[in-house]
Every structure is written in structure tokens, then in C-alpha cells.
Amino acid sequence: GNSVTQMEGPVTLSEEAFLTINCTYTATGYPSLFWYVQYPGEGLQLLLKATKADDKGSNKGFEATYRKETTSFHLEKGSVQVSDSAVYFCALYLLDEKLTFGTGTRLTIIP
């Protein structure tokens, strides 16, 4: 079956540090890949997505590149802010199937 494995948290970084949250997937076929973010007290929001190999999704300074050869979609940001503190979920989607999520990575940024 399809699955997503992401870096276990919690992750704690200082403000302006470089962030990487690893995500790898297993899928039958060629999925679309997503990063969702859940800020404290809020619902899940789509952060970025990529629908085919070598696509780069980007939003709010975050980036992730769809790497088919390594079945990965790692999330990166060059300089994190306190406001980036949230739980981040990697997910995959195949047509006519369900959206499959990783277990989430809690990120805390300290000033």
C-alpha cells in the first residue's frame, strides 16, 4: 500500500536557522506530493505541493522538490522564524485513492 515516512519530531531550532524536514514515500504509481501545516489552534493548511517529478513547490519561503529517484519530498527553509512553529505533515495522493499522511513533525522555533 501507499505510505509516507517523515522525520520524527519534535524539532527545535533557533530563529534564522536552516530547516530540513525529511519525507520519503512509497506508492504504486506517480503520486502528487503535499506539505500541510497545522499552526497552534488552527486547522490543516496546504503549504505547498508538487504534481510531477522534479517539480518544486514553494510558499512562504518553504521549498520542496519532488525527487522520483529517491522517492523523497523534503521540506526546506533557509531562515526560520518563530511564527513557523507548527506541526508539518507530508502527504501523497494518487488519483481515485485517498490522501495518505505521514505522522507529522512538530517544529518549535526559539527566539
What is the distance between the alpha carbons of residues 99 and 103, in angstroms, rounded to a whole number?
13
What is the distance between the alpha carbons of residues 110 and 12, in angstroms, rounded to a whole number?
7
Work out whether 11 is an interface residue with other proteins (CB under 8 A).
Answer: no
Q: Out of 29, 42, 70, 111, point to the residue binding other proteins (CB under 8 A).
A: 42
The nearer residue to other proteins, 95 or 111, going by C-beta atoms, is 95
Work out whether 13 is an interface residue with other proteins (CB under 8 A).
Answer: no
What is the distance between the alpha carbons of residues 20 and 66, in angstroms, rounded to a whole number?
14
Q: What is the DSSP string of 7-43?
A: --S-EEEETT--EEE-EEEE-SS--EEEEEEE-TTS-
The least CB distance from residue 41 to other proteins, in Å, is: 8
Q: Out of 7, 19, 21, 49, point to the residue binding other proteins (CB under 8 A).
A: 49
Q: Which residues bind other proteins (CB under 8 A)?
A: 4, 32, 36, 42-46, 49, 51, 89, 93, 95-104
